[in-house]
Structure 1
């Protein structure tokens, strides 16, 4: 593939620079975040301290430089999609996460002061592709046994 200036492309192709592109879906934004984290698997990222104990107003503004949320905010694609900063509240809004889901991703109570980016990516993917919980696995096993 070779580079061609826009002016040249306009003479050989139907170019529409003002054409709007489709916004990313929630799943696409989460998948992009996971991919960014997977690119730096061994990097230690800062967590947020005890998010579940913070009042809502304080939790919204929580941030830590070098956190999994910061990795997302450093990405030009996610910023172009509307990610405005690297705070807990903005990540909750932009990625359409519940407090419980975001707590699982960034809280210090799960991994201490830092988390490996690979672990954070796996946690993001778990939101995208939830694994069945213990109760669901037991129920499934019971139903398999009963149908045999």
Structure 2
């Protein structure tokens, strides 16, 4: 293997400086996803239909063209760190989300057929906050 400087690599490849930073924690990955969504806050994103009613093996393969998950998959840093596609199951694995958390972000029953990227960003951040998930939701239903 031949040693090359960054300038030499730039001549033959598209080098992203941020790709060297490892988004090691779940929180860091979720925050980056939210930031990616906020880059084009009015972009209309597609939702996935009926994630809560789909059998787990089929749900894992579900995808929607131009979904919030697609925005994450478009990021070269996430792909370099192992995000292999824009499916529901891959997003759940990569971002370490529960089914309920990912359902809140991408399912059409919460957001309609499409949603602005800024809404998706707020939902991603909510999944990253302490006390998120099913029990926090349930507590919110009964406390309000």
TM (norm. structure 1) is: 0.75
In the alignment, structure 1 residue 6 sits paired with structure 2 residue 31? no
Change (3 A) 1:32 1:56: same
| Cα drift, residue 111 of structure 1 | 1.4
- Output the aligned Cα RMSD: 2.7
Larger CA Rg, structure 1 vs 2: 1
The 1-side partners of 2:6 and 2:24 are apart by 29
Distance, in Å, in 2 between the alignment partners of 1:129 and 1:23 is 17
Give, in angstroms, the shift of residue 81 of structure 1. Answer: 1.0
1:83–1:94 Cα contact (<8 Å) kept: yes
Corresponding residue number in structure 2 for 1:91: 91
Q: How does 1:49-88 map to 2 (within 5 A)?
A: 49-88=49-88
Q: How many residues align?
A: 124
- Asked whether the equivalents of residues 73 and 83 of structure 1 are also in contact (C-alpha less than 8 Å), the reply is yes
Unpaired segments ≥5 residues, structure 2: 8-19
- Unaligned 5+ residue runs, structure 1? 9-19, 140-148
